Amino acid sequence: MSHAVIASLSGFSLLPSYTVIGLTLGGVYALAATGLVLIYRVSGVLNFAHGAVAMFSTFVAYQISVVAGVPSPIGLLAAVATGAALGFVIEFLTIRPLAGRPPLTKVAVTIAWLLVLQTAAGLIWGSTGYHRPVQLVGSNGFTVPFTNVVVGYDQLTIFLVAVGLSLGTSALLRWTSLGAQMRAVADDPQAARLWGIDVDRVSAASWMIGSAMAAVAGVLITPLLNFDTYSLTVLVIDAFTAALIGRLTNLPLTVVGAILLGLVQYYPKAFFNQAGLSELSTFVLALITLAVVFRPGLAASRGRG
Amino acid sequence: MTVLLQIDGVSKRYGGVQALNDVSFRVERGRIKGLIGPNGAGKTSLFNCVCGVLRVDSGHIRYAGRDLHGLAPHRRARLGIARTFQTLELFRELTVLENLMVPVDAAARRGMLADALRLPRARFEENRAGERAHALLHFLGIAEVAGIPGGDLAIGIQRRVELGRALALRPTLLLLDEPAAGLDSRETAELAGVLSRIRERFGTTMLLVDHDMSLVMRVCDDIAVLDYGRLIAEGPPERIREDPTVVRAYLGESAA
């Protein structure tokens, strides 16, 4: 007990640098969550394979940039292509044929994909031990003026890229033709079809864009955690928690929720050195969100009107 | 007069109900055809067969000389068949202007990448579609609601927006499913005026289903009458009004 108290007193000095880490992590969650929400809104499917898609795509980048030594931006592009391709394949082969089936059936299919991708990655890259992360930017940094807080250029890049892409997706939905079609499909797929919108094509686009975002999130996050097939697959839990805060529909609120989640996961670590602490924080935040934001019955239905 | 839409021996059954039983009639180009009949006579089923939501069991539907068999609804929309709905189907979260433009955008069938990035060509198309949409809202007398979400409008206005959305596609054939439902007599009279102006201005061929006889008798050039899925009469309004079979079908319903 006294040990914990001492630890908690020294924790305050860690808060500024943990804020930096929390924000960085939160930015990546925002990106993953935005992709998840995009897919959910347009196609009505909660994609449990979202993290697995991120993981598999990131291992492609790892293979190209870490193993083969090709410059990391090319590895990132390969991950994006892999993510988009996986999104297309999942939608085209296993979601589209289930049109008209209960949402739960489609969710079950995404869980199957999670297992398939997890197993495949384990067979190819090994399911034990950590891998060297894909470094996009060197880990040099700068000290924030008038403080002793050091911000890494990699952290800054991750945060800016992630948040920029998330907000870019909001803009895509808001301002482009494809975005308007996506909102129309999200609103009422049947009516959208009757109004000449190729619902299958718009839905496939949402899976491809959403999964490509998961891939970018996966590559960005590898330097921040122990990079293996498991840790990235469960990224879907963090993304889902952030998405809950945005009620599974509101993208800007999802970004805010993701950043909040990043901070909530890191702050307790400043005070207590306990394994599983950030998972506990995520769980508590998700429960609070469910209790506060959602009323019973809302979670099962699609966000309309 | 050339035939635009030809319904040829169309039958449709669901469950134990024969919704359409060997129905045949034609709609000539530039005309407004009324489709009436008691509740459950098969009017909406016929609409759904024409726009492709329902598949006919037997018979043919020809549009501009082409058999529509097997064409998906969005493909039919691209051929110039547009419709309004009995129940309101505006996209609630999209603004009125977006409601009008989304179908036009979809029909333009650009590449997904052009759509996503709004490449200059796409933007140009969108501006032209936007101008046309604005002009239509003006034409329908609802220019001031362009920026309001569809779900926030009064019913009468929503109906007009729906009409505008169908017209934005510049349809050759417009299917109107009970456009006067929920409107009072003044609004219905206004609607009749709007429909006549639409035909004058755009030369649109229309197939109109409605219970409101004042509307149907006023705007239609000729009328087809369905009862229990069967075509029981066809002809100009003045003849339909006097037709004993039609009178019996309607009296039979009210006596029941």
Q: Could you give the ipTM of this predicted complex?
A: 0.70
Q: Check if the beta carbon of residue B20 is closer than 8 Å to that of residue B221.
A: no
**Structure-block tokens of residue A131:** 């891998």
Query: For the segment A185-212, what is each residue's pLDDT rounded down to a tens digit?
Result: 998 888 888 777 889 999 999 999 999 9
Between chain A and chain B, the number of residue pairs with CB atoms below 8 A apart is 84
Flag if B106 and A196 touch (Cβ within 8 Å): yes
Same domain, B48 and B142: no
Q: Which residues constitute the domain of residue B145?
A: 92-152
Query: For the segment A10-35, what is each residue's pLDDT rounded down to a tens digit?
Result: 677 888 888 999 999 999 999 999 99
Torsion of CA B246, B250, B255, B256, to 10 degrees: 110
Q: Check if the beta carbon of residue B180 is closer than 8 Å to that of residue B210.
A: yes
B95 vs A: CB within 8 A: no
| Residues of A whose CB is below 8 A from B118 | 175-177
Please check the confidence at residue A178 and state whether its pLDDT lies above 90. no
Closest-CA residue to A165 (of A46, A83, A230): A83
Same domain, B86 and B181: yes
| Spans of chain B, pLDDT less than 50 | 255-256
pLDDT of residue B111: 64
Flag if A181 and B83 touch (Cβ within 8 Å): no
Q: Is B8 within the bounds of a domain?
A: yes
Question: Residue B85 sits in a domain of what CATH number?
Answer: 3.40.50.300
Instruction: Give the residue extent of every domain in chain A.
Output: 12-120+146-292
Same domain, B72 and B174: yes
Q: What is the per-residue burial (b if ≥16 Cβ within 10 Å, else e) of B67-103? A: ebeebebbebbbebbbbbbbebbbbbbbbbbbbbbbb
Q: What pairs with residue B231 in β-bridges?
A: B226
B92, B102, B165 member nearest A197 (Cβ): B102
Please check the confidence at residue A297 and state whether its pLDDT lies above 90. no
Please check the confidence at residue A305 and state whether its pLDDT lies above 50. no
CATH of the domain spanning A12-120+146-292, picked from 3.40.1440, 1.10.3470, 2.60.40, 1.10.150 = 1.10.3470
Q: Other C-beta atoms within 10 Å of A138: how many? A: 10
